[in-house]
Amino acid sequence: GAVVSQHPSWVICKSGTSVKIECRSLDFQATTMFWYRQFPKQSLMLMATSNEGSKATYEQGVEKDKFLINHASLTLSTLTVTSAHPEDSSFYICSAWDRTNYGYTFGSGTRLTVV
Amino acid sequence: SQQGEEDPQALSIQEGENATMNCSYKTSINNLQWYRQNSGRGLVHLILIRSNEREKHSGRLRVTLDTSKKSSSLLITASRAADTASYFCATDADQGGKLIFGQGTELSVKP
> Could you read off the pLDDT of B7-35 as tens digits, one per residue?
889 999 999 999 999 999 998 899 999 99
Q: What is the pLDDT of residues A49-89, one digit of tens each?
A: 998 888 899 999 999 999 999 998 899 999 999 999 999 99
Of all residues in chain A, the one with the smallest CA distance to B85 is A41
What are the CA-CA distances from residue A78 to residues A6, A13, A65, A91, A103 (Å)? 9, 17, 14, 15, 20
Per-residue pLDDT band at B1 (split at 50, 70, 90): very low
For residue B5, name the pLDDT band (cuts at 50, 70, 90).
Answer: confident
pLDDT of residue B108: 97
Report chain A residues touching chain B, CB-CB < 8 A: 6, 32, 34, 36, 41-46, 49, 59-60, 91, 93, 95, 97, 99, 102-104, 106-109, 111
DSSP B40-101: TS-EEEEEEEETT-SEEEETTEEEEEETTTTEEEEEE-S--GGG-EEEEEEEESSTTS--EE
Residues of B in Cβ contact (< 8 Å) with A6: 42
Q: Is the pLDDT of residue B3 over 80?
A: no
Chain A residues within 8 A of B98 when measuring between CB atoms: 34, 46, 49
User: Whose CA is closest to A109, among A87, A88, A94, A90?
Assistant: A94
Label residue B103 by pLDDT band (50, 70, 90): very high
- Calculate the average pLDDT of chain B: 92
pLDDT of B4: 67
